Amino acid sequence: MNDRPESADLPLVHRFPALARIPRVRLTSLPTPVEPLSEASPAGSLWIKRDDLSAESFGGNKVRALEFLLGSVRPGDTVLTVGGEGSTHVLATAYHASRLGARVHAVRWRHEMNPVALDVAERAASLCTRVTTTRTFPGTMARVLWRRARERVHWIPVGGSTPLGTLGHVNAALEVERQIAAGEMPLPREVIVPLGTGATAAGLMLGFAIAGLAIVVVGARIGPRIAVNRRRVRALARATAALISRETGRPVATPGPDAFRVVHDVYGGAYGRALPAGDRAATSLLHWRGVALDATYSAKAFAAALALHPTTGAPLLFWLTFDGRMLAPVAR
């Protein structure tokens, strides 16, 4: 692994060279492939972005953000992060930070679990130096504040959803721009992503605006509206645009009001609760491609994609954010 690379290979830095000053550690193997899902759409209207393959050993969408969020981490440092008990963000942070020689302390709150979430929780706990589990999200954040006040740590918020982390997803959108230009896939009308803390949706939405691509990002909501909503995603996109503008001294195109929408009908009623339509969608993709989905996020987004693609009349891209390869040794 080239831990401290030059960043000129990123489409983001190619467009904004001044962003090469931002510390970054190479964790990814990019670009990730785009593939037609002919099994679901013989006419070729449904495509998949294989972001599960974003890194050689453990990919998924979180790794794109972690390249920036862990950019200043050195061996022996402590990384503090937070998430639900079955959080893939916590697992990805623990895995990649430990590869850099850092210690990881995760503070997690309990929530409804499904079999994949249990595997994620088990593997994350095995990689963390310390795991603290509380009953509620407010209790988790109180514990985090206590820890940050008493020890020097690299703090990574829930989901890695900060403007700095969102840069990785802006780069992902500009990566898709290149793939469209190269003829690897058609221009999609919509891109479907799971919607949790919102960094992936915000970064894609901003990146498509910067590229001048008329692509609508559709977030499949997986949590309660109070925490998972359009307003928060748009605010994160604006904050990320402001970060780019500050670093580069250049104005940045921002997404229009119709660049993002939310699908609400795949939320299972509680974070982590499996949805029958998601289970069916996951079974289909496993049968077609041998690719696993998680019940909390990606299975619900794929269910939304399968429901939407016959109605659009134009290509649609499902963004696969979950990498199940690492869980195979502990799969139940």
Tell me the pLDDT tens digit for each residue of 44-79.
899 999 999 999 989 999 999 999 999 999 999 999
Is residue 148 within 8 Å of residue 276, measured between CB atoms? no
pLDDT digits (tens, 9 = 90+) for 221-276: 999 999 999 999 999 999 999 999 999 999 999 999 999 999 999 999 999 999 99
Which pair of structure tokens corresponds to residue 264?
């609400």
Cα→Cα distances 265→225, 231, 278, 293, 304, Å: 12, 18, 11, 18, 8
If you search the block for the tokens 């119709």, which residue do you land on?
A: 258
Is residue 273 within 8 Å of residue 114, measured between CB atoms? yes
Which DSSP symbol is given to 329? G
- The letter for the amino acid at 6 is E
Instruction: Give the helix/strand (H/E) hosting 90.
Output: helix 88-99
Residue 329 confidence (pLDDT): 52
Class of domain 11-61+161-330: alpha beta
Class of domain 63-159: alpha beta
Residue ranges per structural domain of the chain: 11-61+161-330, 63-159
162 vs 137 pLDDT, higher one:
162
Q: What is the 3-state secondary structure of 8-32? A: CCCHHHHHCHHHHHCCCCCCCCCCC
Q: In what order do the strands lie in the sheet with 78-84?
A: 130-134, 103-109, 78-84, 154-156
Identify the band that residue 137 occupies on the pLDDT scale cut at 50, 70 and 90. Answer: confident
Q: How far apart are CA 207 and CA 284, in angstroms?
A: 30
Length of the chain equals: 332
Domains 11-61+161-330 and 63-159 share a fold: yes
Residue 43 confidence (pLDDT): 81
Q: Is the pLDDT of residue 332 over 60?
A: no
Cα→Cα distances 56→33, 96, 195, 278, Å: 13, 12, 25, 27
pLDDT digits (tens, 9 = 90+) for 176-217: 999 999 999 999 999 999 999 999 999 999 999 999 999 999
pLDDT digits (tens, 9 = 90+) for 140-186: 899 999 989 899 999 999 999 999 999 999 999 999 999 999 999 99
Max CA distance (Å), the chain: 58
3-class secondary-structure state, position 82: strand
